[in-house]
Amino acid sequence: MPAPRRLTIATRKLAPAMWQAEQIRARLAALYPRTTVGVLGIPARGGSAAALHGESGARARMVRDLEAAIADGRADIAVHSLKNLPGTISPGFTLAGITAREDPRDAFVSRKFASLAALPEGAVIGMSSVRREAQLRERYPALSIKMVRGDVTTRLKLLDSGRCDALIVAAATLCRSGHSACVTAYLEPDESLPAPGQGALAIECRADRPDIAAAMAPLADRATTLATTAERAFTETLCGTGAAPVAAYAEWEEGALWLRGLVAGTRGRGVLRGEKDADVPDRAAAARLGQDLADDLLARGAARLLAP
């Protein structure tokens, strides 16, 4: 199937999103030198970039805005951070590929302290997700947690102004926004289990465009696709939303996929963890792994933790 003569990528008009779209644009341009590849930045509704961060409803609206650009012909594909996509893709659309995952870890950022363990009692640490908050409250109950909004630059200014002593931010977000040098320490998954799909990019297109899907196929990474399929199936089986304090991370160990999952209760009602591994030859098997781990946690009381 010949490559399209022109491809337009829809993305959020924010620095990390534009950076990741440019990475995809460059790869497509190298694959298809006769194709003109462009990027269409879609601003947040109301012009508030800050509203996109940490608010699942705003993220869902942005996904719909990118899908609208594809549906009306302004764009051919959309590039998303996979962790921002709902578990179920909108009718009429499909994931044409999930790229090789970048660093999936969370990062600790501070001007004054070398690690989480070095923070004194009462220190203020900023973050933008209930997933991170739940895990931090479990391990460091004496810290003061501040939920922060805004792009990475805005959040880093909280350190300079003294309003926060430290931040926890996705390592991939810092890299994509040009702030990787700000990382003080990386948090391993046993310290802060990542969000499902964290660090991976997803390429979405119309379901009735097999030509576009075929053109995206060389960008897909099988190992990341299977790992994130298990993570997303875990989350979808538990609650179907990224707003709940749920974390999941799968990695390959000696040919098997090892999935760790976590669900936390609201208002400090505890944290429930589990893990499971399996041979995963295809996406169906990966999804079963995620569902099985979710079922294990549900049998141990996860629904009670997730209840309002």
Considering the domain architecture, whether residues 61 and 26 belong to the same structural domain is answered as yes
Reduced to 3 states, what is the DSSP secondary structure of residue 263? strand
In a domain, 194, yes or no: no
Considering the domain architecture, whether residues 10 and 90 belong to the same structural domain is answered as yes
Task: List all residues 6 or more positions away from 146 whose beta carbon is below 8 Å from its beta carbon.
Answer: 124, 125, 126, 127, 163, 164
Instruction: Write the CATH number for 80.
Output: 3.40.190.10
Instruction: Write the CATH number for 266.
Output: 3.30.160.40
**Residue 16: per-residue pLDDT:** 85
Considering the domain architecture, whether residues 72 and 212 belong to the same structural domain is answered as yes
Task: List all residues 6 or more positions away from 84 whose beta carbon is below 8 Å from its beta carbon.
Answer: 59, 62, 63, 242
Considering the domain architecture, whether residues 69 and 114 belong to the same structural domain is answered as no
In a domain, 253, yes or no: yes
Considering the domain architecture, whether residues 113 and 95 belong to the same structural domain is answered as no
In a domain, 264, yes or no: yes
Q: How many whole angstroms separate alpha carbon 70 and alpha carbon 64?
A: 10
Q: Following CA atoms 26, 32, 34, 40 in sequence, which dihedral angle do they give, to the nearest 10 degrees?
A: -40
- 52 or 287, higher pLDDT: 287
pTM (2 d.p.):
0.91
In a domain, 269, yes or no: yes
Considering the domain architecture, whether residues 85 and 112 belong to the same structural domain is answered as no
Considering the domain architecture, whether residues 94 and 235 belong to the same structural domain is answered as no
Domain count, the chain: 3
In a domain, 225, yes or no: no
- Bridge partners (DSSP) of residue 275 are 260
Considering the domain architecture, whether residues 119 and 172 belong to the same structural domain is answered as yes
In a domain, 78, yes or no: yes
Q: How many whole angstroms separate alpha carbon 115 and alpha carbon 117?
A: 5
- 188 or 47, higher pLDDT: 188
- Bridge partners (DSSP) of residue 7 are 37
Considering the domain architecture, whether residues 297 and 256 belong to the same structural domain is answered as yes
Reduced to 3 states, what is the DSSP secondary structure of residue 163? coil
Q: How many whole angstroms separate alpha carbon 221 and alpha carbon 87?
A: 19
Q: How many CB atoms lie within 10 A of CB 16?
A: 21
Tell me how far CA of residue 153 lies from CA of 156, 295, 296, in angstroms: 5, 40, 40
Q: How many whole angstroms separate alpha carbon 262 and alpha carbon 259?
A: 10
CA angle (206 as vertex; 9, 81 as ends), nearest 5: 50
**Residue 223: per-residue pLDDT:** 97
Of 136, 103, 63, 98, the C-alpha closest to 219 is 98
In a domain, 168, yes or no: yes
In a domain, 14, yes or no: yes
Q: How many whole angstroms separate alpha carbon 262 and alpha carbon 107?
A: 19
Task: List all residues 6 or more positions away from 29 whose beta carbon is below 8 Å from its beta carbon.
Answer: 35, 37
**Percent with pLDDT over 90 in the chain:** 77
Considering the domain architecture, whether residues 264 and 138 belong to the same structural domain is answered as no
Task: List all residues 6 or more positions away from 163 whose beta carbon is below 8 Å from its beta carbon.
Answer: 124, 126, 146
**Residue 86: per-residue pLDDT:** 87
Q: Where are the beta strands (DSSP E) in 112-266?
A: 124-127, 144-147, 166-170, 185-187, 201-206, 246-253, 256-264
- Bridge partners (DSSP) of residue 146 are 126
Q: How many whole angstroms separate alpha carbon 110 and alpha carbon 7?
A: 41
Chain segment 127-162, per-residue pLDDT in tens: 988 899 999 998 999 999 999 988 888 999 999 999
Q: Looking at the predicted structure, is the pLDDT value of residue 54 above 50?
A: no
Take residue 198 and report the two structure tokens written for it.
């964290």
Chain segment 58-95, per-residue pLDDT in tens: 778 889 999 999 999 999 999 999 998 988 899 999 99
Considering the domain architecture, whether residues 129 and 264 belong to the same structural domain is answered as no
Considering the domain architecture, whether residues 77 and 19 belong to the same structural domain is answered as yes
Question: What is the pLDDT confidence band of residue 274, given thresholds at 50, 70 and 90?
Answer: very high
Distance of CA 79 to the CA centre of its chain: 12
- For residue 168, the enclosing domain spans 106-187
